[in-house]
A = this chain, B = another copy of it.
Amino acid sequence: MPAIDLNGDLGESYGLWRLGEDAELLPALSSVNLACGFHASDPTTMRAAVVAADGHRLAIGAHPSFPDLRGFGRTPMALPPPVVRDDVLYQLGALHAICRAEGATLRHVKPHGALYHAVAGDADVAAAVAEAVAAFDPGLPLVVPAHAATLGVLEDAGLLLVFEAFLDRGYQPDGRLLPRGRPGAVLEDAGEIVERALSLAVDGVVRAVDGETLELRPDTLCLHGDGLRSARVARAVRDALERAGVQVRPAAGALP
């Protein structure tokens, strides 16, 4: 029986400011990535997110970021790798403490925003993040794009890796995402997104922008949570997967 993880970014409010539709998105997911205060969230928001995710029995992961609240962690920053390593460690520990207070467990780490892209494309940043995760808990899986150019570095670090694919982004033939702004970079059609989820979950493949079949074999699919639309699409994806006999469950649960 094929299985896949559906992950979403949650707990991205900050202070008085709300973001996302966490309550609506939660039922569609099997795992969540929780902001740790560097691109969004604060300790009280983190606690509420842990409680909500744990209440839905979702796998809770840390979503560490560059320190960039104003830019929501999306600003590329050329930080020294040891600083990145220590920043990630700090965030893992902070979320871990809040999980511990609520009787929940940290199950994975998924870098956020510009840090996610740096982990996928910059060997020094990839090594720094891997070092942080391994130092905190070598059994904690790291979520990276299925097409990460830094795969060698990440595998050398000895971490468990969870490969991620995107349902609403166009892929280049080499497995990299089409940059935003280019035609086909962002998919908006719900039917197309659902179809892609099935193809990725059952066969591990996606059709690249050149029409060729690209093998990604993802462990987890990312469901964005930014708009009202997303919760509806997320539920449609989950329903379609379950109807097709695909088990939706945390990726980490399937790891050795």
Listed in ascending order, the chain A residues whose CB lies under 8 Å from chain B are 13-19, 37, 42-44, 46-47, 67, 69-72, 75-79, 82-83, 86-87, 89-98, 100-101, 132, 135-136
Cβ A101 vs Cβ B77 within 8 A: no
Interface pairs (13), CB distance under 8 Å: A14-B70, A16-B19, A17-B18, A37-B90, A43-B90, A67-B70, A69-B69, A77-B77, A77-B78, A90-B94, A93-B95, A96-B97, A101-B136
Q: How many monomers of this protein are in the complex?
A: 4
- Complex: how many Å from CA A90 to CA B41? 12
A137: shortest Cβ distance to chain B, in Å?
8
User: Contact partner of A43 among B42, B44, B46, B86, CB < 8 A?
Assistant: B86
User: Contact partner of A97 among B16, B46, B47, B89, CB < 8 A?
Assistant: B89
- Complex: how many Å from CA A93 to CA B67? 18
Cβ B83 vs Cβ A44 within 8 A: yes
- Complex: how many Å from CA A86 to CA B62? 17
For the A-B complex with A46-B86, A89-B98, A93-B97 known, give 19 more contacts whose Cβ atoms are closer than 8 Å: A13-B17, A14-B17, A15-B69, A15-B70, A16-B19, A17-B17, A17-B18, A17-B19, A43-B83, A43-B86, A43-B87, A47-B86, A71-B83, A76-B77, A93-B95, A96-B96, A96-B97, A100-B135, A101-B136
